[in-house]
Each structure stands twice: as structure tokens, then as C-alpha cells.
Amino acid sequence: MVKRYEVEFLPEAVDDIERIGKGTARRILEKIGWLAENFEGIVSERLLGEFKKAFKLRVGNWRVIYAVNRKRRVLRICMIGHRSKIYRRKG
């Protein structure tokens, strides 16, 4: 059995999730949980430019920007936002 990754939320990501409607926030948190359970079996989508050390998780029209520490088995959730705005923010 593969060990689940731990999930850490940066303060900015906590603020982001608190601003989103409850139903959408629930879907996003469920998808993050799924990612933590299944991380070893998926191919993460790396970002470019100023976000080049991060990855994205798609949840409908929402994006979760996260970093990975494979040695510690930690997913660090950096930002959460609508796809039309998330990439305009500074990382």
C-alpha cells in the first residue's frame, strides 16, 4: 500500500478557500484529498513562467496551485482561484 501524501495549506490558500462558496470549496477540498491519496499514480501538470516550480490541479473552472516535496511526501497548497484570474496573481 502506498502511503498518502500529507497536505499543507499556505495562509494565502486558506484565505482563498474561505472566499469561495461552500459547495465549490467542498469539491476543491475533496479533489485535494483525492490528489493526496493518488499522487504516486498520476502525472502532475507542471506550470511555466513565474510558477515553474509549481503544479496545477483542475477542479472544474477552478485551479489549485501546489508544490511537492517528494522526500517528505508533502503537497503544499499555495493558491486556489478561478482559472480566469489565478495565473495573473503573483506566486
CATH classification of the domain holding 78:
3.30.2310.20
Residue 71's domain comprises: 6-88
Mean pLDDT of 21-32: 97
- What is the predicted pLDDT for the residue at 80? 98
Residue 44 is assigned to a structural domain of this protein: yes
Q: Examine residue 13 and state whether it is found in any structural domain, yes or no.
A: yes
Look at residues 73, 67, 57, 66 and name the one whose alpha carbon lies nearest to residue 3: 73
Give the model's pLDDT for residue 1: 62
Q: For residue 42, what pLDDT band results from cuts at 50, 70 and 90?
A: confident
Q: Report how many domains make up the chain.
A: 1
What's the grid cell of residue 55? 503544479
Residue 1 lies in a domain: no
Please provide the average confidence, as pLDDT, over all residues in the chain. 93
Q: Which grid cell is 35?
A: 490528489
Tell whether the model's pLDDT for residue 87 goes beyond 90. Answer: no
**Confidence bin at 73 (pLDDT 50/70/90):** very high
Which pTM does this prediction carry? Answer: 0.90
